[in-house]
Structure 1
Amino acid sequence: MLTHEYPYVYAAVEAKSGELDFLILPYVNTDCMQLFLDEVGARHPSDKIVMVLDGTGWHASRLLKLPQSMKLLPLPPYAPELNPVEHVWDELREKRFHNRVFDSLDALEDQLEVTLHTFENNAPMVKSIVAWEWIISALLKKSGWRGPRETGAQRTADTIDCGRAEREEHGHSREQGL
């Protein structure tokens, strides 16, 4: 029987510095999103965080409990280019995983983890991908917050689907990153 399995990456990028946080999780759902929000909030307890999100259901669930210093900023439909983390996904797909075939899901996850740790440890490279002045200005204006010097880091988040449907192997849970 042919099955399709996916790992999913939850990521947040601070657009002005290029700092990246991520988790590799087996599902895209409200529980995983909550886990990611909690991890980002715990890792950056003194920062005010604005997460830019698309309209996916698990991003907007009323069941999500936000850390006190975090607010979610929904994007208008059909505007992914406004989310800085989308440019990370473009870099990942086009330059790191283009025309690659993996022998197993574990091999793909291993390469994904190595690549994301490379991004995480190279903020200047990530900044060169995401820190477009028009994005930063638009995010600060829309969020109502005045800027990193006065409010701490501004973070954006989204998820990337690595190409297939939700995993059938429910017992497999690889939490990586953060």
Structure 2
Amino acid sequence: MRHPKVSLWAMDEHRVGLKPILKTVWAPTGQPLVCPVQSRYEWLYIYAFINPETGESQFWLVPEVSKLAYQRVMAAFARSVGASKQHCVLVVEDGAGFHVPPLEGHPPGIQTITLPAYSPELQPVERLWDLTDATVANRWFETMDDFTDALGQQCAWLETQPNLLSQQTLFHWWPLLRN
């Protein structure tokens, strides 16, 4: 009997938007550092999936965080990685209240593992947010479309950097499956 393929991923969400992300930067001594900001409260959410062992990743830019959005992103993720009876995909996630599968359950081949409450240090995806925010920090965007374009380009680039992402997320205790 052939055993199914198993892969282990982590998933989390991150809220970003037109409220500026301010980061410390170097500046010449004696010169004022100016960062134009205009606080506006339009939000976008990054749903990120990472396989720490391989560095494979997927980033989804979604306008809301909700049960329905979670279910749709999880279904799209399942299709994209080929989750099935022959490929079991374990997804490590936090215990957010909207992490609720549809009544019929998660898509075939998807199983979730919930981290203990209040333990973001155990979530590998948390290490990605500095990387996703890098191109939008200390910048002002006139429109949400401009912001989304810049963030989308960064996320698309990150998806092509498996070694970088694996270095950031492969904790020493993360189980290695090596199918």
TM-score, normalization by structure 2: 0.69
Whole-angstrom CA distance in 2 between matches of 1:38 and 1:26: 17
**Equivalent residue of 1:34, what SS?**
helix
2:99 aligned residue: 59
- 2:128–2:165 Cα contact (<8 Å) kept: yes
Q: Show structure 2 runs of 5+ residues with no match.
A: 1-38
Query: Per the alignment, in what secondary structure is the counterpart of residue 164 of structure 2?
Result: helix
Q: CA deviation at 1:91?
A: 2.7
> The residue matched to 2:46 in structure 1 has which SS?
strand
Return the match for 1:126 from 165, 175, 178.
Answer: 165
- Counterpart CA distance in 2 for 1:79 and 1:30 is 21
Hey, what's the Cα distance between the residues in 2 that align with 1:64 and 1:99?
Answer: 44
State how far apart, in whole Å, the 2-side matches of 1:3 and 1:97 are.
Answer: 14
- The whole-number CA distance in structure 2 between the counterparts of 1:116 and 1:108 is 12
Alignment RMSD: 2.1
Secondary structure at the residue paired with 2:99?
Answer: helix
Instruction: Find the counterpart in structure 2 of residue 44 from structure 1.
Output: 81
> Is residue 2:52 matched to residue 1:12?
no
The question of whether the paired residues in 2 share the 8 Å contact of 1:53 and 1:73 is answered with yes
The 5 Å alignment of 1:17-166 reads 17-46=54-83, 47-60=87-100, 63=103, 65-93=105-133, 95-134=134-173, 136-137=174-175, 147-149=177-179
1:3 and 1:59 mapped to 2: Cα distance?
Answer: 28
Contact between 2:136 and 2:147, CA under 8 Å: does it hold in 1?
no
1:97 CA drift (Å): 3.2
Q: Tell me the distance in 1 between the aligned counterparts of 2:166 and 2:65.
A: 26
Structure 1 unaligned spans of 5+ = 141-146, 150-178
The structure with the greater share of residues assigned to helix is: 1
Q: Which has the higher strand share?
A: 2
Equivalent AA in structure 2 for residue 109 of structure 1 = T
TM-score (norm 1): 0.70
Classify 1:128/1:64 alpha carbon distance in 2 versus 1 (closer, same or farther; 3 Å): farther
Q: What percentage of aligned pairs have identical amino acids?
A: 27
What is the aligned length? 138
Task: Give the match's secondary structure for 2:71.
Answer: helix
Distance 1:116 1:126 in 2: 11
Q: Deviation at 1:61?
A: 5.4
Return the letter of the residue paired with 1:85: V
Between Structure 1 and Structure 2, whose CA radius of gyration is higher? 2
Say whether the 8 Å CA contact 1:9–1:25 is kept in structure 2.
Answer: yes
Taking CA–CA contacts closer than 8 Å with sequence separation of 6 or more, which of the two structures ends up with the larger relative contact order? 1
CA distance in 2, matches of 1:14, 1:36: 16
1:93-112 residue CA offsets vs partner (Å, 9 max, x unmatched): 3x333322222211111111
Amino acid at match of 1:69: G
